[in-house]
């Protein structure tokens, strides 16, 4: 979320990769450009900070100059259930040595823009890529508003993907778990941003909008120290199913948490 979130990623991700021997880092970066979209330059900053793949969501087109770039860089995804012909790709088979990991970006439809069916789109992809056979692991970033839709997606994919992890709500949830079929799940990973805010935006203008119901000044990103929020998932080398799933929180206002390894 804006500059504070980017700085938190830059500061902590390289150290986390070394400390926990992390093979793959995926970041939803759709609010990186002052809270509104993403740019080519900022993508470069994330890749320099040892992020491997970037996902997005409903703010993917906020920066119009970004549209031609997403067609050129397969490491940047937009939701796979956008209509056919939309620029960019919604999934990536990311190489990791002799193995590949499938990353799928999907967007929900409850209280969101009307897109194609994310459940049907994932089912199509899972016919093409089988967990533990065609991909060593399969990660789904489900960018959605409703917790019910996110949970339904988790159960729909249980046993067929390594993890279904939610984004969009900017608040980390406390329901990290492994479903009966072996898929890791958390309703929302939370934001990398300043939590002394209203979902990463400055408090005063945001509160005023609710109190007065007037448009007021355009909200700006809160510029205090960010909390880096994420989810650490460990998968089985043979099946691709999850062995553990834990939250990561570093810095800022939220209580810190690191994986217990």
Catalytic residues: 59
Helix axes 147-157, 118-128, angle to 10 degrees: 20
Token code pair at residue 13: 């991700």
Burial 184-223 (b: 16+ CB within 10 A, else e): bbbbbbbbbbbbebbbbbbeeebeebeeeeeeeeebebbe
- Cα of first residue to Cα of last residue in the chain, in angstroms, is 29
* Residues with Cβ within 8 Å of residue 176, at least 6 apart in sequence: 184, 185, 186, 231, 245, 246, 247
d(CA 240, CA 139): 10
d(CA 82, CA 220): 28
d(CA 97, CA 237): 13
Whole-Å CA distances, 144 to 3, 76, 149, 248, 259: 23, 18, 7, 21, 25
DSSP β-ladder status, 177-178 and 184-186: antiparallel
Q: Which helix (H) or strand (E) is 206 found in, with range?
A: helix 203-212
């Amino acid at each position: 979320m804006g500059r504070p979130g980017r700085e938190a990623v830059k500061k902590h991700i390289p150290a986390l990769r070394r400390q926990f021997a992390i093979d793959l880092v995926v970041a939803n970066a759709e609010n990186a450009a002052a809270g509104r979209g993403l740019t080519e330059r900022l993508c470069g900053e994330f890749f320099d900070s040892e992020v491997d793949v970037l996902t997005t969501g409903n703010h993917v087109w906020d920066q119009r100059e970004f549209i031609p770039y997403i067609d050129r860089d397969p490491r940047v995804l937009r939701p796979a259930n956008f209509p056919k012909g939309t620029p960019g790709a919604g999934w990536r088979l990311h190489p990791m040595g002799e193995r590949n990991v499938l990353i799928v970006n999907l967007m929900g439809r409850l209280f969101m823009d009307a897109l194609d069916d994310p459940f049907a789109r994932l089912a199509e992809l899972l016919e093409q890529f089988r967990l533990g056979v065609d991909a060593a692991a399969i990660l789904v970033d489900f960018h959605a508003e409703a917790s019910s839709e996110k949970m339904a997606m988790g159960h729909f994919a249980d046993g067929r993907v390594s993890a279904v992890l939610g984004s969009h709500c900017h608040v980390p949830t406390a329901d990290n778990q492994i479903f009966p079929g072996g898929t890791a799940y958390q309703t929302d990973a939370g934001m990398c941003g300043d939590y002394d805010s209203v979902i990463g935006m400055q408090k005063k203008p945001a509160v005023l909008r609710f109190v007065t119901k007037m448009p007021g000044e355009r909200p700006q990103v809160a510029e205090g120290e960010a909390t880096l929020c994420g989810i650490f998932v460990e998968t089985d080398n043979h099946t691709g199913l999850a062995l553990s799933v834990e939250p990561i929180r570093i810095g800022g206002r939220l209580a810190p948490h690191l994986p217990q390894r």
